Amino acid sequence: MSKETQKRRVLIVDDDPVIIKMVGTLLTTNGYEVLTATDAPVGLEIAMQKSPDLLILDVMMPIINGFNICRLMKTQSGSQHIPIILLTSRDRDDDRKIGEEVGANAYIAKPFKTEELLNTISGLLAAPNQSLGK
């Protein structure tokens, strides 16, 4: 299968299995290959090994929060190109500012609209270098 016809691979990292199932099902039915992790260390390991086309991260997770994973991924040469969406219940302006500072490409608050998430994903896959600050 050529790269053009391959399914785009999206990694979802969230400690809430309901969110993982809901977002995973949404993406699978829309033609994406989905990888999942319910904790940050495993998610980080999968991201480094599988090099997904896009990463969806929760912010509030035990051990390592999503802001720190995002910052780490955006400073590593092997992963800094991967677009990252922070999908979180933290919806204050200062949270969004932190998301921008750590290099997130998009910030979506829970509860979210499925169309917004799908449009954000397709937009980032088409133009992966856009970021919150642009």
* DSSP result, 14-78: -S-HHHHHHHHHHHHHTT-EEEEESSHHHHHHHHHHH--SEEEE-S--SSS-HHHHHHHHHHSTT
pLDDT of residue 132: 66
Residue 86 lies in a domain: yes
Whole-angstrom distance, CA of residue 42 vs CA of residue 36: 9
For the chain, residues with pLDDT lower than 50 are 1-5, 134
- Helix (H) or strand (E) holding 11, with range, is strand 9-13
Model pTM?
0.91
Residue count of the chain = 134
Residue 118 lies in a domain: no
Residue 106 lies in a domain: yes
pLDDT of residue 109: 95
pLDDT of residue 128: 60
pLDDT of residue 45: 93
Structure tokens at 100: 């921008």
Domain that holds residue 25: 9-113
Q: How many domains does the chain have?
A: 1
pLDDT of residue 5: 45
- At 18, which CATH number? 3.40.50.2300
Contact of 76 with 54, CB cutoff 8 Å: no
Residue 130 lies in a domain: no
Let me know if 110 is exposed, middle or buried by CB neighbors in 10 A (0-12, 13-18, 19+). middle
pLDDT of residue 90: 87
Q: Is the bond leading into 83 cis (omega within 30 degrees of zero)? A: no
Write out pLDDT tens, residues 52-76: 999 999 999 988 999 999 999 999 8
